[in-house]
Amino acid sequence: MLSGQDGLTWERWRHILALSERLAIASCFLTDHYFIRLQKESLEPFLAFVLAATETRRIRFGPLVTPVTFRRPVEVGRMAAQIDRLSGDRFVLGLGAGWTEAEHIAYGLPFPPLAERFDRLDEAVQLIQHLWQPGPATFDGQYFQLQDADCQPKPAPGRPPILIGGNGERRTIPLVAQRADEWNALNLTPEQYAAKLDVFHRHCDVFDRDPIEIRRSMTVYGLVGPTPQIVDQITREQSLVLGDTPPDDLDQYRRDVRANGSFSGSTDEVIDYLGRLADLGLHEIVFRHFLFDVDDVPEYLSADIAPALADL
């Protein structure tokens, strides 16, 4: 997963797509932000996804995640359906409630209270699912409406999947259990994820859904790489991206962030850690790619990590 708002260029995006194909990486996701803290070059994700649809043949791709506050859900649903068709059924529509107020203020976008943003997210998912069904769609929500809207071309039946990202137990996980095709948790330790799974299963019972129907993935912040120098470079970059003070003691920083789900270690230690997550039923682990300008980490993950986890 790449942060498209952190200086990612079209040239590098095209390169990373080709790299992902060559290395047989399963997915290539983009965040959807105008900016976080610092205003830098920021690719428009849905334009980037058209490029992914036409320049790749295998990978899954999509937003992790697109805030319901940025675009009207009818537009998101229409774009998602067509990008999925263009890509041969490989697009994943990741949706979220939105969380960074500063970018909304800067770009003149309303930023309702959290409860309303989640209500809007719930309605947006329903509207998009209506829009993709055969024939004209009508939807009468508090925030969003359709009246005999026959959005064409339709996606293939059951496509594209709707992913909802986050760890929140009060609104996010219940919404996943009720409406999502995929749940993407964010950077949890195995112990933390096991606790969230208990909440997930309880809400699946409430909504009479079989948990097996919902694909489960996790975005992780792995401070890992083929050399100590690369690991140190990733560590510095993560601290900057996450708004932390650049650490003087990189080893201590890595120890400190383990409680938040970030991890580091030797190749064997990383394989063991990811294996513990896999044992909890995760279908996919999505690494955040911090170093856009070098390929060392994707190549390391493909050559040294992925083969050891393939049969788990």
Domain at 59, CATH number: 3.20.20.30
Count of other CB atoms within 10 angstroms of residue 88: 12
For the chain, what is the domain count?
Answer: 1
Looking at residue 38, its pLDDT comes to: 86
For residue 245, is it within any domain? no
Question: Does 244 fall in a domain?
Answer: no
Number of Cβ within a 10 Å radius of residue 82: 19
Bridge-partner residues for 36, per DSSP? 38
Does a structural domain hold residue 61?
A: yes
Residue-by-residue pLDDT tens, the chain, 312 positions: 998 898 899 999 999 999 999 999 999 999 999 999 889 988 999 999 999 999 999 999 999 999 999 999 999 999 999 999 999 999 999 999 999 999 999 999 999 999 999 999 999 999 999 999 999 999 999 999 999 999 999 999 999 999 999 999 999 999 999 999 999 999 999 999 999 999 999 999 999 999 999 999 999 999 999 999 999 999 999 888 877 777 889 999 999 898 889 999 999 999 999 999 999 999 999 999 989 899 999 999 999 999 998 876
Supply the DSSP symbol for 36: B
Smallest CA-to-CA distance from 66 within 26, 99, 106 is with: 99
Single-letter amino acid code for the residue at 15: H
Structural domain contains residue 252: no
Return the SS3 of 48.
Answer: helix
For residue 297, give the amino acid letter.
V
Q: Is residue 3 part of a domain?
A: no
Each residue's pLDDT tens digit, 41-71: 889 999 999 999 999 999 999 999 999 999 9
Residue 165 pairs in a beta bridge with: 184
**Nearest C-alpha neighbor of 52 from the set 23, 77, 15, 22:** 15
Q: What is the DSSP letter of 131?
A: H
Token look-up 């003070």 returns 245
Q: Tell me the C-alpha distance between 233 and 296, whole Å.
A: 11
Across 36-69, b (16+ Cβ under 10 Å) vs e yields beeeeebbebbebbeebbeebeebbbbbbbbbbb
Give the domain extent around 71. Answer: 10-223+262-309
Cβ-contact 64, 29 below 8 angstroms = yes
**Cβ-based neighbour number of residue 194 at 10 Å:** 14
Give the tokens for residue 112: 């309702």
pLDDT of residue 312: 63
Amino acid at 94: G
